[in-house]
Amino acid sequence: MAASCVALVACDPQVPDSAAGIGDDTSPFNAPPEVEPGLTLNGDPLVPAGRLGDETTANWQDPRPSAGAQPGSDDIAREAAAAIAASGQNSGRQPIEASPSNPAPAVIGNPGLSDENDFAAVASRQTIESDAERLQRQRAQYQIVSPTDVPDRPQDLSPNIVRYALSTSNPRGQRVYSRTGLNLQARSQRNCAAYESPDLAQVAFLEEGGPKRDRLALDPDGDGYACGWDPAPLRAAVRAQSQ
C-alpha cells in the first residue's frame, strides 16, 4: 500500500502556486513588455506604463506631460522653436523675434503727404527770399470775381411767378377780375387738388390766360391768384434785399 502511494506521488505533476511571483521582480509575469518598434502616438514614441501587478495600468502611455503638469523651460523653448519654424514655412519669410536689442524700424516717407507744416523740412529747402517770391506769385494769380446780374429768362419758358408777384399790388382775396360760372368754388377745390403746390397751380393759371381769364377754374374769387397762392412773401423778400 505504501509503495502504491509513493508511485502516485511520483506520477502527479507539480502545480505552481497561483499567488507566487505576484509583486516579485523575479516573476516572469512582471517582466516589462517588449516595445514594438515604430509604435507612436501623434508622432511621439510610446513606452510601457508599468508591469503586471503594479497599481498602474499596464497599457501604453504617452511620454509627453499630462494636461495638469507644468511644462519645463526645455519644453517651452522647443515649442517656441517649432512654432517659429512652422510660421516661417507658411509665409515663406522668417519672422522677426521681438527683442529690445532689435534696431528701430526705418521710417518710410510718404511722397504724397505734404510737409509744409514741418519747420525743419521747409527750412532745409526754403529761405526767406524764396518764400517771399512764392507768396508774390500766389498773390499775382489771385483773382476777385465780381458778382453780376442774373440773366433774363427766355420768354418762351414758363411764366415767372416772382416777376408776376412784383407786378401786382392787391392782397390775396381782393377781387380784381370778374369770374362767372356755376359751382366755381367746388370746381376750384377739385381742380386745385391736381397740383402739388400753389406755385405750380399759379404757373398753370398764368399759362392758360390768367389773370384775366380763368379757363381752369383755379381763381374763383378773381384776385388773380390761383389755389390760394400768396405773393406777399415774395414781395417781402425783395424789399428786404433792397434795404
Residue at 40: amino acid letter: T
pLDDT of residue 214: 94
pLDDT of residue 201: 94
For residue 184, the tally of other CB atoms under 10 A from its CB is 17
Instruction: Output the pTM of the full model.
Output: 0.38
CA 200/CA 82 separation, integer angstroms: 80
CA 192/CA 194 separation, integer angstroms: 5
Closest to 60 in 3D by CA, of 34, 27, 25 = 34
- CA 123 to chain CA centroid, Å, is 41
**Structural contact between residues 35 and 47, judged by C-beta atoms closer than 8 angstroms:** yes
159: cis peptide before it, omega within 30°? Answer: no
Closest to 32 in 3D by CA, of 12, 18, 52 = 52
Residue with cell 502527479: 12
CA 33/CA 51 separation, integer angstroms: 8
Q: CB-based contacts of 162: which residues, under 8 Å, 6+ apart? A: 234
pLDDT tens digits, 105-119: 776 666 667 777 787
Residue at 139: amino acid letter: R
For residue 206, the tally of other CB atoms under 10 A from its CB is 17
What is the three-class DSSP state of 99? Answer: coil
Residue at 79: amino acid letter: E
pLDDT of residue 70: 58
More confident residue, 243 or 36: 243
CA 11/CA 88 separation, integer angstroms: 77
H-type helices in the chain, by residue range?
A: 2-11, 73-91, 119-125, 128-141, 161-167, 184-192, 198-207, 232-242
Does the pLDDT value for residue 32 go beyond 50? Answer: yes
pLDDT tens digits, 181-229: 888 889 999 999 999 999 999 999 999 999 999 999 999 999 999 999 9
